[in-house]
Amino acid sequence: MTRCVSCNGIMKVGETSCYVCGERGPKQSGANPSMRARWATLVSIAFFASLALTVASLVVSDYTPPFIACVTASVVLLFLKRASDQFTRVKQ
């Protein structure tokens, strides 16, 4: 809950003007992504990088980690990606 700048009245989250004095309330900052959205983006990038590394471990095995390690990391990141996407959707 926020307060009105002029009369110090309590304003709900969705209100744009004060009920008591009618003055416009402070701007709502909805442009910044939440920490959950940032985490979901980071996990998605890591998942796709892991998939690329898994494919690369099949082709160029001298310069990449073992295939089993890449597959394991990809599966774990897939579960994290699905969970973080689900939690991000619930909050929106």
User: What does the pLDDT look like over 30-70, one tens digit per residue?
Assistant: 556 678 888 889 999 999 999 999 999 999 888 899 999 99
**CB-CB neighbours of 19 under 10 Å:** 12
Domain match, 9 and 46 both: no
Which structural domain range is residue 9 located in?
1-29
Residues 76-82, mean pLDDT to the nearest whole number: 95
Residues 18-38, mean pLDDT to the nearest whole number: 73
Domain match, 20 and 47 both: no
Better pLDDT: 9 or 80: 80
Domains contained in the chain, number: 2
Q: What is the 3-state secondary structure (H, E, C) of 13-69?
A: CCCCECCCCCCECCCCCCCCCCHHHHHHHHHHHHHHHHHHHHHHHHHCCCCCCCHHH
Distance CA 82, CA 86 (A): 6
Domain match, 25 and 37 both: no
- pLDDT value at residue 72: 96
Domain match, 25 and 41 both: no
Model pTM score: 0.61
- pLDDT value at residue 91: 53
